[in-house]
Structure 1
Amino acid sequence: MVSILAAIEQTACKYPEKTAYRVDDMALTYHELWHFSDSVAHSISKLGLQRQQPIIVYGHMSPFQIVAFLGAVKAGHPYIPVDASIPSERLQTIIKASEAELLLSTEPLHTKVHIPVISVDDLAAQPSSKPSLPSTWVRDEEIHYIIYTSGSTGKPKGVQITANNLANFVTWMQEHFPFQESSVFLNQAPYSFDLSVMDLYPALVGGHRLHAISQEQIANPKVLFDSLAASNTSIWTSTPSFAKMCLMNKEWNQELMPALTAFLFCGEVLPPSVAKEIMQRFPHATIYNLYGPTETTVAVSFVQVTEDLLAKFEQLPIAPLSNPNISLLEDGEIVISGPTVSAGYLNAPELTAKAFQLQDGKRMYKTGDLGYEEDGYLFFSGRKDYQVKLHGYRLEIEEIEKQIGNLPPVSDCVVIPIAKDDEIVSLSSYIVLHEPLTDSAFKMTKQLKESLSDYLPSYMIPKSFKYMETLPLNPNGKVDRNRLAAWGTV
């Protein structure tokens, strides 16, 4: 099994001037990555933190975020990636829940925090008296990184991924996907979203190059596609939603990106229509549909999308039944076992015990996803609870409802996912106010959305707000979500 840090060190020694990471006009060679992260590790070690104390890494697509990640694990600490786009309230929640005592930043913080904040640039610039020693590195069953996902209690959950989890995932990727020598990996997902791990570590371990695109580029189509055209990307990793956005540009095709040989899609359902159009536009590329929750280290299965598969099924399968690490419980819930199953949720033993269990001596994770088997494949058929995927992000409906319900004008609230062609496309909220509307619904909605932006990322804020005197109930006395969902499709 590959040692993540040892493999990156080997590449840094063998190809020191090779580019490891590029974003906008900034680039980092393997030598710089290794040297700067040694400096960060040396500086962290002098702070006297307890081994395995989590470290927050705050920023957005800066090369020095990667430096901070490696510096933290070299010093024996897991890192928690936090994107600069999240609301300050959520950052505060993560700091409190993780009990982190240090924040490394590559971007200016727009809020005060109660723990020390150090610029990664400053740490990297400090001379390191000696290289980090493998004896200090995070290893084996120690935690390598922690990703915070949406939680049903109104609090995010910190998924702990061990060094062994990550090493097994990278080994699995290397065994199953066609990474040619000196490939270029697209880095589209922010590091707070675990899809980013799919390109980050396989690229660095294999001595490849990462080409990152920032939110500023995504917001400017001309800049985005100019960047993609110049990137020489060969391995595309993204959510299907991002690819759908790219498909709106008729010039996004094999001619624009001639080196592209593989699409790796994960994070949400891949619609067959999207796969078909990409297949037409990129005839020299292979498309893979991957599946796996954050709790099992990004992905545990894949299916190569072919014309025969598209012709045979109305939706794409997520795994062959031969995959030994995926099974179904009697109620249809998908359960995952194997060496990439997470160590559990940070500082949340009850949640961990509920989701992670031992069976026949193997650690298993109950995904909450429902599935069914057909013709040798496993298919995804929805969620057991109200957890949904929207634009690649996993959301807990209960968390959004809790935050809306906490707003002073709101008496009651239900959030309903709106689907189109079996895909969640938006969220709609149905709200009962404490007092009848005295102004326009438009102004109230604007007020509520502005208030929510202090507590939730933009992708978690419902698109529409509808005001009601009371919420409809079903015969059991519960809110009739099915009826509200039906209203949302009218």
Structure 2
Amino acid sequence: MKNVLEWLEATVTKHPDKIAFSDTKDSITFKDVYDIARNTGSYLIEKLGIDRSPVAVFAGRRMVTPAYFLGVVYSGRPYAPIDASLPDKRIEKILENLQPKAIVADRDSLEHVNSIVDELATNTDFSRPQVFVAEDISNMMVDSGNRSEHAQYSVNAAISRNDINTNDKLAAVRSQMSMTDPLYIIYTSGSTGNPKGVMTSHLSLMTYINAYCDVMHIEENDVLGNQSPLDYIAAIRDIYLPLKTGCSTAIIPKEYFMEPNALFDYMNDRQVSSVGWSVSAFTILSSLGAFEEVGLKSLRKICFSGSVMPCKVLRKWQDNLPEAHFVNQYGPTEATASCTYYSVDHQVEEDEVLPIGQAYDNYRVFLIDEAGKEPAVGDQGEICVCGPILALGYYNDPERTNAAFTLNPLNKAYPERMYRTGDYGKLDENGVLHFCGRMDRQIKHMGHRVELDEVEYAANMVEGVAESCVIYNKQKEVLLLFYTGDCDKRSLALALRQELPGFMVPRKIKKLEQMPKLPNGKYDMKKLEEM
């Protein structure tokens, strides 16, 4: 198969009435997804013609949102998912970079989106795109009367289009599509303050989903528990695994991740069997007393990523889910979510550091040292990635694209494109890859090289510390440690002095009620720096 729409079309033939996506209020079947997506795609073709310009989608964490994404795909364009709750300035920067001809917005975000677009069009040279109401162009009517367990969907006959004409339009677009066409543009933070639009092809996405599916053994009877916002890279598993396998995704409310009992009750009720969550989700739930009153009955397949998993947290989950398969995943958005995995095949020790393992199928992961050569076994180098999973680049940003996506200096025979992750790693004698920290998290302090991740690891090992983050104020030459948990500052400082050289012990330690987080679960470094 060369297109994600082929996955949907094969699955809707097998399981038309099976639930594809659900949230706390409603659910939607594969047939509903198929109909809504085709209607949306046909409408966009009718209004915009046939080209490959992107369409921004504002639709929130709702069970119908993936169908809107796929509607844009049916029109032959990449979709750019954007969270309407982001700060206005960030949305403006994204839209200025994207320059979309059209925006698809649900009714909840419509007024806000229009106000941002009007402001941009008035005060800049931004060309105002057409803004379409998602519920209207998909021909979806939700019966808000005596609602049964699932929402009732029907086609609005007054605006329904001729099926033959619709098929002709969609077929004309499909005939021009290839597997290397861009599928989506997902925006990530950029060091300059301008978001980067990571553009990924059908081929790259399908390569990753196939590899992840094999490692996690995802099958049609699985139910995935979605944690990530649908505009983040981590959500692609929860969106596309159902299309490939016929499994279902249950979208979990954000607030449940601060209430372990409510979360576990919901997961048990939906029979969630597999999750792919950020490490912070596991650490927060553990610190809030997960498993003390309610257990998980159906969860058996667990993947975690985004940061280093504290093994004292993993051990708690292993003890409570002894039959579960745990996988540590590593990789950047530019390599289609992840590039390596490590299946945890043993009961971990609390002071253990997990490796990031081996490359997924169809990925090639290797190290390059500062001299542009491959380091010896055990020596450190930058983690680099090659293969069909590389992003197409950063949308409308050739300068940053050329800096991050370069030619492999180890390959002298032909030009081979690679991505430099900016992370250090090393290979052990068994060929297993170990993460050694971010290159920009390695600093010079008091004449010594300091790995900030190493300081965090030491803090996380202290009894009573739930989460920690270390930042470096270069101007003042001060290490600052922020943490949450029951441990008092004095006890933490004393414990660190027993584990670390004096120059590595943070001069300032601040206890927080809650760590500031980005929607993807990672720490909000800018907010920490402002504290």
TM-score bin, normalised by smaller chain: 0.7 to 0.9
Structure having greater relative contact order (Cα 8 Å, sep ≥ 6) = 1
Q: Matches of 1:135 and 1:337 in 2, distance apart?
A: 33
The two structures have a TM-score, normalised by structure 2, of 0.72
Q: Matches of 1:375 and 1:4 in 2, distance apart?
A: 39
Matched with 2:446 is none
Bigger mean CA deviation after superposition, 51-60 or 129-138: 129-138
Q: How does 1:104-253 map to 2 (within 5 A)?
A: 104-106=104-106, 107-108=108-109, 109-110=111-112, 111-113=115-117, 114-125=128-139, 126-130=159-163, 132=167, 133-137=170-174, 138-218=177-257, 223-250=262-289, 252=291
Please say if 1:353 is aligned against 2:407. Answer: no
Matched with 1:380 is 435
Q: Matches of 1:2 and 1:204 in 2, distance apart?
A: 14
Q: Matches of 1:79 and 1:340 in 2, distance apart?
A: 18
Relative distance call for 1:295 and 1:419 in structure 2 (3 A) is same
Unaligned runs of 5+ in 1: 389-415, 433-452, 467-490
Relative distance call for 1:8 and 1:340 in structure 2 (3 A) is same
* Amino acid across the alignment from 2:435: F
Look up the SS of the partner of 1:192 in the other structure.
Answer: coil
Q: Matches of 2:360 and 2:75 in 1, distance apart?
A: 40
Look up the SS of the partner of 1:256 in the other structure.
Answer: coil
Matched with 2:18 is 18
Please say if 1:89 is aligned against 2:103. Answer: no
Relative distance call for 1:387 and 1:209 in structure 2 (3 A) is farther
Does the CA contact (< 8 Å) of 1:184 and 1:234 recur in 2? yes
Q: How does 1:282-431 map to 2 (within 5 A)?
A: 282-307=321-346, 310-311=348-349, 314-320=352-358, 325-331=364-370, 332-359=381-408, 360=411, 361-376=415-430, 377-385=432-440, 420-421=456-457, 425-426=468-469
Q: Matches of 1:279 and 1:217 in 2, distance apart?
A: 21
Matched with 1:392 is none
Look up the SS of the partner of 2:94 in the other structure.
Answer: helix
Please say if 1:74 is aligned against 2:74. Answer: yes
Does the CA contact (< 8 Å) of 2:211 and 2:360 recur in 1? no
Look up the SS of the partner of 1:462 in the other structure.
Answer: helix
Which has the greater radius of gyration? 2
Deviation, 1:140, is: 1.4
Relative distance call for 1:112 and 1:33 in structure 2 (3 A) is same
Does the CA contact (< 8 Å) of 2:204 and 2:336 recur in 1? yes
The two structures have a TM-score, normalised by structure 1, of 0.77
Look up the SS of the partner of 1:83 in the other structure.
Answer: coil
Q: Matches of 1:272 and 1:357 in 2, distance apart?
A: 35
Q: Matches of 1:431 and 1:327 in 2, distance apart?
A: 31
Does the CA contact (< 8 Å) of 1:430 and 1:465 recur in 2? no
Q: Matches of 1:277 and 1:245 in 2, distance apart?
A: 12
Give per-residue Cα distances to partners, 1:302-329, cap 9 Å, x unaligned: 1111326x35983111123898611000
Q: Matches of 1:387 and 1:89 in 2, distance apart?
A: 31
Unaligned runs of 5+ in 2: 118-127, 140-158, 371-380, 444-451, 461-466, 476-517
Does the CA contact (< 8 Å) of 1:333 and 1:371 recur in 2? yes
Matched with 2:57 is 57
Does the CA contact (< 8 Å) of 1:232 and 1:257 recur in 2? no
Does the CA contact (< 8 Å) of 2:2 and 2:202 recur in 1? no
Q: How many residues align?
A: 415
Does the CA contact (< 8 Å) of 1:23 and 1:63 recur in 2? yes
Does the CA contact (< 8 Å) of 1:292 and 1:301 recur in 2? yes
* Amino acid across the alignment from 2:132: I
* Amino acid across the alignment from 2:56: I
